[in-house]
């Protein structure tokens, strides 16, 4: 099974001076046809990482449980 892991941080209140952000981690199955990959029912929100410093650093700690589940 081939999976795509997508991470994108965003600020929930759209303020550049806000001291926090969220980082959703989305998995997509690549064994599907290309037109099926982009459908929401084949994309899985696996983790939402709250980042109080709005930096996106040290997020590898959150991935440990996801990696264990995929193994």
- The pLDDT assigned to 57 comes to 61
pLDDT tens-digit readout, 15-56: 666 667 788 888 888 899 988 888 988 889 888 887 755 445
Q: Are 25 and 46 in contact (CB under 8 A)?
A: yes
State pTM to two decimals: 0.67
- The pLDDT assigned to 53 comes to 58
- The pLDDT assigned to 54 comes to 47
Six-digit token string for 24:
């959703």
DSSP letters spanning the chain = --EEEEE--B-TT--TT-S-EEEEEEEEETTS-HHHHTSGGGEEEEEEEEETTS---STHHHHHHHHHHH-
């Amino acid at each position: 099974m081939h999976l795509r892991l997508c991470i994108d941080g965003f600020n929930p209140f759209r303020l550049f001076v806000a001291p926090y952000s969220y980082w959703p981690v989305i998995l997509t199955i690549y064994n599907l046809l290309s037109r099926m990959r982009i459908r929401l029912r084949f994309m899985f929100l696996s983790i939402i990482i709250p980042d109080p410093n709005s930096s996106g650093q040290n997020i590898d700690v959150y991935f440990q449980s996801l990696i264990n589940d995929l193994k």
